């Protein structure tokens, strides 16, 4: 029997495409003919507040895009942002199967802005899979800050050694491992299944 009782998942890069990372921003630059350098300078000053839920999506866009007149509307830009989110159906199916087994507590630990996070939770039916969402926009901490992992452990009350955290970025996994959590770097679905099985985790 597996000693793992709780599985915590990153969202962007594991279950879904990223919400608003470099690739997504580059698509927006091309689609709306924006200056990447000009945008990047403003984005870097605001992204921490944006992902911690300190400012709204409207606030963020007012300061990064709509600080001057544009030939497109804020509504058009937001619709494009939301349209970039795509699910990895095979990974979502695995997560659903693990949730349906009722053998593991299922949660997320992820960095996302509030509006995009809520949209993605709803769009991809993630409330059917996960019991708790330890999202940066809800808790005010971002990976790889230690407090977001500590909070995930404290609110669920699972010992770290009985938890596994799945993420695609090594730095985020290193921070979780310092708490004593088992970690898996997501690369491919077969690799993820194999690494889970090594920990005794199966649907």
The number of CA neighbours under 13 Å toward the Cβ of 160 is 13
Hey, is 145 helix, strand or coil? coil
Domains, the chain, with CATH or none: 6-17+86-198 (3.40.50.1000), 22-83 (1.10.150.240)
Q: What is the pLDDT of residues 116-145, one digit of tens each?
A: 999 999 999 999 999 999 999 999 999 999
Q: Look up the pTM and report it.
A: 0.96
Q: Dihedral sign for Cα 132, 9, 175, 84, please.
A: negative
Report CA-CA distances (Å) from 120 to 37, 72, 78, 182, 196: 28, 24, 13, 26, 25
Q: Residue 197: its pLDDT value, please? A: 98
Q: Residue 1: its pLDDT value, please? A: 56
Residue count of the chain: 203
Q: What is the pLDDT of residues 182-192, one digit of tens each?
A: 999 999 999 99
Q: What are phi and psi of 166, to 5 degrees?
A: -115, 125
Q: How far apart are CA 158 and CA 173, in angstroms?
A: 18
Percent residues over pLDDT 70 in the chain: 100
Hey, is 188 helix, strand or coil? coil
Of 190, 54, 48, 164, the C-alpha closest to 109 is 164
The residue ranges of the chain whose pLDDT is under 70 are 1
Q: How far apart are CA 196 and CA 202, in angstroms?
A: 7
Q: How far apart are CA 92 and CA 87, in angstroms?
A: 7
């Amino acid at each position: 029997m597996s000693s793992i009782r709780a599985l915590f998942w990153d969202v962007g890069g594991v279950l879904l495409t990223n919400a608003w990372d470099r690739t997504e921003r580059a698509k927006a630059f091309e689609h709306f003919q924006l200056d990447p350098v000009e945008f990047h300078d403003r984005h870097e000053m605001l992204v921490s507040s944006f992902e911690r839920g300190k400012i709204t999506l409207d606030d963020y866009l007012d300061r990064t895009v709509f600080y001057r007149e544009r030939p497109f509307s804020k509504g058009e830009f937001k619709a494009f942002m939301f349209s970039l989110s795509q699910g990895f159906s095979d990974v979502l199916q695995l997560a659903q199967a693990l949730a349906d087994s009722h053998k593991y507590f299922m949660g997320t630990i992820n960095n996302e802005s509030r509006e995009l996070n809520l949209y993605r939770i709803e769009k991809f039916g993630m409330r059917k899979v996960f019991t708790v969402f330890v999202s940066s926009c809800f808790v005010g901490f971002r990976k790889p800050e230690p407090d977001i992992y500590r909070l995930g452990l404290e609110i669920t009350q699972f010992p770290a050694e009985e938890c596994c955290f799945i993420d695609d970025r090594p730095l985020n996994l290193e921070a979780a491992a310092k708490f004593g959590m088992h970690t898996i770097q997501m690369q491919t679905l077969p690799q993820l299944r194999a690494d889970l099985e090594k920990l005794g985790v199966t649907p």
